[in-house]
Amino acid sequence: MHPMVKPALRRGWRDLNTVQFGMTPAHALTLGPVDTATGSFLDLLDGTRGLELLREEGRRMDLPDGHVDRLVERLARAGLLDDARGGGPEAADLRERKEVLDRLRPDLAALSLLTSEPGDAIEHLAVRRRLRVQVRGAGRVGVALAALLSGAGVGEVDVRDGGRVEPGDIAPGGLSAESVGERRDESARRAVRRAAPGPASRRGPKSPAEADTPGFSLVIIAPRDDVSVHAPAPSAAEPLIASGTPHLYAGVVEGTGIVGPLVLPGETGCAGCLHQERTDRDPAWPRLVAQWHSGRRRSARACDVTLATTVAGLAAAHALTFLDGRTPSSTGARWEISVPALQWHARPVWPHSACSCGAAEKGKQEHISEDRGTHATMAVQHSQEFCRTTDAARLAGTWRAHV
């Protein structure tokens, strides 16, 4: 182990004997009492030395026998340490790809805030490189979203859509003006390749049959059609439900941006559940949806470029949270934001007994119902998970800072 204090956490002294790691309430921790020699020793925890060399440095600084090991253990249990050489073989392979890792260092630092064990962050980052994600929709939301996932280190991001690029598809971070007239899917995949920090670690051959699911860790449905955003067709996701493929919805309808639900087939509410619930509340709902789909085609749909970019960013963040092994707050819920108020609201999507997805039969979804109140703010779930992880193992003298 080559321990280093997580570089994402800024350090400051609250007084002569108490050091604070981190600035924000979600991540700040204080450690004390810390004597002057131990405070100086913290500077040596930069990942360049193994434990044996650190013990030698401790002896040169007249630290008591065993003090270095106790300090390292204490910092590790508090979630403050990373391992500069940890993470396993895939992490070692990533470190050898210096140009790729240099691009991803900010993401690595951010991941370290969500992991407690030394070496976990780079292991998560390495795992991303062998994941496959499909984005269905190459509009202002879909392409920017796909590029963000690629830029965050996801190994393969496939974009599916038809038609040719139109001027209204162009957006910063998405399709470029030079792509007007080109095939949408080809232009979108080119944007994904530009955003990637390096070549994927593995890219198997794709066949047309893969369009409907096998091998994808996540499918993101980001249609350009605003009706499909507002009222996603249950039939479109039936192959995903049947194959057990997790899928996330995202898009813009009129002046409202939508992220979610993230559907875990057979466990959480899906598009069919959403349709059934809306029909229960409003018997005219199916009639309205049919009219919206069959109405006269408009020359341009409303899709504010800043709102589309906001939706793409949030959807990508929720997708990465899921791909990294956590449960984002969009699981079984739709986050909505509307102009001009620009306040996020969550609307639960509960499993419906009349839906064929089977989620209602698996009980009341304990892990969602327990968190039902956490949908009030977007950061609550992550911060609670981090708090539980670090608080459970924290030694005496280490506590969460009230900042």
Domains (range + CATH), the chain: 3-84 (3.90.930.60), 129-387 (3.40.50.720)
Residue 295: per-residue pLDDT: 72
pLDDT tens-digit map of 11-63:
999 999 999 999 999 999 999 899 999 999 999 999 999 999 999 999 999 99
- How many Å apart are CA 401 and CA 9, to the nearest integer? 13
Q: What is the reported pTM?
A: 0.85
Residue 198: per-residue pLDDT: 85
Residue 374: per-residue pLDDT: 38
Residue 364: per-residue pLDDT: 54
- How many Å apart are CA 105 and CA 117, to the nearest integer? 18
- How many Å apart are CA 379 and CA 368, to the nearest integer? 16
Residue 276: per-residue pLDDT: 96
Which residue numbers in the chain have pLDDT < 70? Answer: 200-214, 363-403
Residue 204: per-residue pLDDT: 42
Nearby residues of 374 by Cβ (< 8 Å), 6 or more positions away:
329, 380, 381, 384
